[in-house]
Chains A and B, each alone.
Chain A
């Protein structure tokens, strides 16, 4: 599903450098990425999503070489193939839950918001146990409910790959497990691949594979 080869990346300014000689994730695999802060975990997710482009090397997702696409194609590829789950949920406060879930459909032409998409959004929300809160505004939800809504949003376009950036980082222990269970369940139901950045050691055992990011990162002093 994900295949990275000889990747080199650095920001235009600053000393941060990332080098990934080889990185692979197979279909339906659930992989956790760990590593200390600033080690480039989030940068890796952004590279895979095509938000950043590597200085050299290739990033392929689902046999598409993301790093070779132009900007517009990368965005369309991202919105149709990749679901993002963020640490701070990033729901829009001025939209109700349903509008938040279908939001990706409204901001791109790559997706069409039709009746079936809406019905799926409702059933997904019901699946995530927030079916009765569709008309609530994001601010009126608990942290757990917010993340459920965010997961709904990520899953609605049927992405092949879910990128979760500290998805459970802001949840209490009880919610952590529940949300992760839900995430795993729905990912499995959708035959999706999950790449999750996490700090949470307790949860690691539930992933198929854990990659320590320390190995990829270079602080090039030389």
Chain B
């Protein structure tokens, strides 16, 4: 290209002017590109959750508008997680931290989390928390001893309460991204319908025989029992362990005044336990609270199966 200015000028006036415009457009496009890319890359708000049901609710309501993180390992009961710094930092980095409330996350008083980001999803029914009388400490899994004292915390298997928790999530998400409020509302409605269906089914099953005595293998069914009118007494058994002699003795003494014909397990019980129970004319069924991500399906399918399983006890 000639450095002669006049030459350049005349060139610009002629057909090369179009080339010039094209180059200009290209330059503008290139300089603009990072900003548009930035806009597209703009990080989705992150929502950290304290257990699987909350993860499921947040994902259903938030859809692809948010990123849901669940920093607790999949093989751990999220209530009894032994916190390690990396996981805590992941919680801290989120824009919102959804907690179950009812003293669910026992690790909460061992970690530092920004108070401003904490959301207690069960705040709206906190005056209806169930207090567990007496302390029962036991050992299972890799986490060591833990206690089921204080408040019952498996709030979401009362599906009415689950709806309230989902509602709380809808509200904080709408506050976090106000422009998506309608989306969240629509997603919540769909979730609510699903939960209401579960609720209706559970009610239908139980209303037939309210007073039927049942044994639960773990003290996590208090809210469920309260909502749907189950008559339960609980032991502290693990599905994958054969109960000790003392535990069998304890069961027999309970059965004396509480002639249950079904035992509700958290997870698939060992065949030995099932057989021995059968010999005592006690059948086994599984009702999985679904605290962590299920191997198959999701919260809804697991709960549907739970309700289905429960039906057998009321036939």
Chains A and B touch each other in the complex, with CB atoms below 8 Å apart: no
| Chain B residues near A (Cβ < 8 Å) | none
